Amino acid sequence: MELWQSFFSWHDPVALDLGFLQVRWYGLMYVLALGFGYFVGRELVKRGEYKMTLEQYDMAFIWVEVGVILGARIGYVLFYDENTMWYLTQPWEIFNPFYNGEFVGISGLSYHGAIVGFLVAGWLFTKRENIKFLYFMDLSVLAGSAGYFFGRVGNFLNDRLVGRETDVPWGIFSHGALRHPAMLYEAFLEGIVVASLLFILRKYKKFDGQLMALYVAFYATARFIVEFYRQPDPQLGFIAFGWLTMGQLLSFAMFSLALVVYKVLPKNQLTK
C-alpha cells in the first residue's frame, strides 16, 4: 500500500492538544475558509468593485455567517438526520452541544441548508442597510466560493464524509476499504473550478444576481457529479432509481431554481 493510501492510519486529526482543549485540523480549515473568503470579499469592496462601506461589509459578514450556521444545522436535521422527528418535537436540542452532561460539540451540517440560511440572512441585512439584495449576493458568492476549497479539505482531514469503494491508484484506505478521496474532488470542482469561473465571469456581468445564479448552477453541477464518487449517507442510502442520492436530488432542485432565476431576472439592469 502506498503512503498516500494509508494516510488516515498515520494522520492525527488533532492539530494541537492543549490538554483542556483540542484544536482539530477540521476546525482550523474552516476558520481558514471563513478568513480567506472574508478578506477576498473585503478586498473587492476596498478596490471599489462593490459600492458599500467596509463597516457595512464587516457587519454583513457576521449576519451571513450566523445565517449559514443556523441553516446548515437545521438543514441537516431536516434532510439527513435519522432522528428528524425527535428533533422536531424537541427543537432546542438541535444546537445542544452536550450529551449526557458531556460536551461533544455539534456534528452534522448541510451545505444546501447553509445556502438557505445565507439567503435569508443576506436578505434581512440588505433590507436593514438599504442595499440591493441581488447586488450583495453577487459579492457574497465571490467571497464564499473563494474560501470553499479549504472547507472541503477540512472534511477530508476529518475523514467524515467518505468516498465510495474503488480500485483507482489514488484511492485512500478509509473505513475499512479503499475509497475515492471524494472530499478532495469536491474541493477541486466546487472550490477551485467554481471560484475560478466566477472570478473570470464577473468581468462580463450584465445584471445584478447573475453571479449568484451562476454560482448556484455551477455548484449544483459539480456536486451532482461528485455524488457519484461519494458514499451516500448511511441513514438514507439511495433515494431513487438505485443510484440517486439526497445530495443529487437537492442539487437538481438547486440547478433548476438557478435556471429559473437566470431567466426571470431583469436583463436590462445597469451595473456600475
**pLDDT confidence band for 270 (50 / 70 / 90):** very low
Q: Residue 171: which region, alpha, beta or left (left: phi > 0; alpha: psi -120 to 50)?
A: beta
CB contact set of 176 (below 8 Å; sequence gap of 6+) = none
The pTM assigned to this predicted structure is 0.82
pLDDT tens-digit series, residues 78-89: 877 777 777 778
Higher pLDDT, 139 or 26: 139
Interval 184-191 mean pLDDT: 95
pLDDT above 80 for 103? no
Interval 53-65 mean pLDDT: 93
pLDDT above 70 for 266? no
CB contact set of 128 (below 8 Å; sequence gap of 6+) = none
Q: How does DSSP assign 34-103, residue by residue?
A: HHHHHHHHHHHHHTTSS-S-HHHHHHHHHHHHHHHHHHHHHHHHHHT-TTHHHHHHSGGGGG--EETTEE
Give pLDDT, residue 271. 44
